[in-house]
Amino acid sequence: MLSPARLAGVIGTPAPAVASALPSGPAVPAEALVDLQAIRHNVATLRARAEGAELMAVVKADAYGHGLLPCARAAREGVASWLGMALLAEVLAPRAGGDTGRLLSWLHVPGEDFAAAVRADIDLSASAIWAVDEIAAAAAEQGTTARLHLKVDTGLSRGGATAAQWHDLVRAALAAQAEGTLTVVGLWSHLAWADAPEHPTVRRQQEVFERAVADAELLGVRPQVRHLANSAATLTNPASHYDLVRPGLAVYGLSPVPDLHDPEALGLRPAMSLRARLSLVKQVPAGSGVAYGHEYVTQRDTVLGLVPLGYADGIPRAAGNAGPVLVAGRVHPVAGRVSMDQIVVDLGGDEAAHVARAGDPVVLFGDAALGEPTAQQWAQAASTISYDIVARIGGRVTRRYVGAELGVELGTELGAELGTEPGAEPGAQVHQ
């Protein structure tokens, strides 16, 4: 991860030549270009690191902002044997789209339509007896048997039964299993400090998990899968792999341990780049206040570029005066506050700035190997994490997919009238 000093060193410096050859594609204000081949590559890389465990690609929250159905399909093509989504509304979509593999959903409230999930042959999770009861009742109503994963709280203090509740939860599930309404197929938990693999909490949580598994097995549970590892643990903690790993962020090519390794060092390829076009370029004199509150004032005669993306599109407002943007071959910081629909970039007064024109392409984040700013740099600028940067990209931003298998429909085909960007496959497709 770049330190603030190193990030400051990136701002205003020339980008490598490869990054200056930015695409010239469709005339939309902004787009998130998603490389499905990168997702396939990342899943295959993670599966190899899982050392024999199965792999669940977590595609919750619209695949971390990348687009659920295209990314779910690409993850399957990367040989993900499971897909994981938090909410029932999410997990039903891949099944409706034709996915026939194992799907898990885990975040529920009383009164949800578990019958729809049972009909769709989706694995469900329970952290409390009410969930066991409602899932069993839904299965009985459907005349079938639901597959259930029991979650134990090993120290994160979010979902999962505490140690004091665990035996009662397991007994309730086994009682329903004896009635034929469900079968307990999984035992699982989630780590609090996986991104700091040497933190003592990691080992303590694994010990609590292993005791909970042993207790459940003594009571009669015969799980198909035990699962604990997220992206960070998949990459740094083989002892946590058990039968199944659940990477999320790493599927999309971002490092879950940025203080330790960048994506390239982990063998990952960032799947999303956020691109836009300048909507206005103009010269202003020294002393010009820029954006609300004039938190940025030009120090010289300069050229400003207006980028039609703002916090309504997911650009973090906290990244004002800091977020890096690649324009005309150089990386510049956002000048002033982030507005709802737009940001301003001070392009400087050199020749490159003076030849900039409305319609020129810009890159907010993408692949460092191409000289582009990264989601991690934006996270650092906004004092957040890269998960937050990609997952927050809003619905006004077009998702366009490259690397799709021929013949697979992902949305509206761009067609010849919009052109094809350099590096994009013929038939690149768009999804909004």
Asked whether the beta carbons of 231 and 222 are under 8 A apart, the reply is no
For residue 39, pLDDT over 60 is answered with yes
CA–CA gap between residue 134 and residue 255 (Å, rounded): 38
- pLDDT of amino acid 2: 34
Are 297 and 168 contained in the same domain? no
- pLDDT of amino acid 405: 62
Are 222 and 76 contained in the same domain? yes
CA–CA gap between residue 51 and residue 241 (Å, rounded): 8
Are 16 and 50 contained in the same domain? no
Domain assignment of residue 421, yes or no: no
Asked whether the beta carbons of 30 and 276 are under 8 A apart, the reply is yes
Are 167 and 245 contained in the same domain? yes
Domain assignment of residue 407, yes or no: no
Are 124 and 88 contained in the same domain? yes
Are 382 and 293 contained in the same domain? yes
Are 306 and 235 contained in the same domain? no
- pLDDT tens, 114-162? 999 999 999 999 999 999 999 999 999 999 999 999 999 999 999 999 9
CA–CA gap between residue 377 and residue 370 (Å, rounded): 14
Closest CA to 399 of 279, 280, 271: 271
Domain assignment of residue 8, yes or no: yes
- pLDDT tens, 300-331? 999 999 999 999 999 999 999 999 999 988 99
Residue where a domain stops, chosen among 217, 252, 287: 252
Q: Please list the active-site residues.
A: 60, 292
CA–CA gap between residue 38 and residue 290 (Å, rounded): 38
Q: Which residue has the tokens 């665990």?
A: 166
Are 298 and 179 contained in the same domain? no
The domain total for the chain is: 2
Residue where a domain stops, chosen among 233, 252, 271: 252
Asked whether the beta carbons of 370 and 400 are under 8 A apart, the reply is no
Mean pLDDT of the chain: 89
Closest CA to 120 of 87, 88, 158: 88
Domain assignment of residue 343, yes or no: yes
CATH of the domain at 351: 2.40.37.10
Are 185 and 317 contained in the same domain? no
Domain assignment of residue 228, yes or no: yes
CA–CA gap between residue 364 and residue 394 (Å, rounded): 14
- pLDDT tens, 380-429? 999 999 999 999 999 999 999 999 863 343 332 222 222 223 333 333 45
Is 183 buried (19+), middle (13-18) or exposed (0-12) by CB count in 10 A? middle
- Long-range CB pairs of 408-415 (<8 Å, 24+ gap) are 408/73, 410/67, 410/69, 410/70, 410/73, 411/70, 414/25, 414/26
- pLDDT of amino acid 429: 52
- pLDDT tens, 66-125? 999 999 999 999 999 999 999 999 999 999 999 999 999 999 999 999 999 999 999 999
Domain assignment of residue 415, yes or no: no
Domain assignment of residue 292, yes or no: yes
- Containing structural domain, residue 10: 4-29+279-396
Are 80 and 18 contained in the same domain? no
CATH of the domain at 236: 3.20.20.10
Are 213 and 339 contained in the same domain? no
Domain assignment of residue 94, yes or no: yes
Are 322 and 347 contained in the same domain? yes
HSE at residue 351, side-chain half, CA atoms within 13 A, is: 1
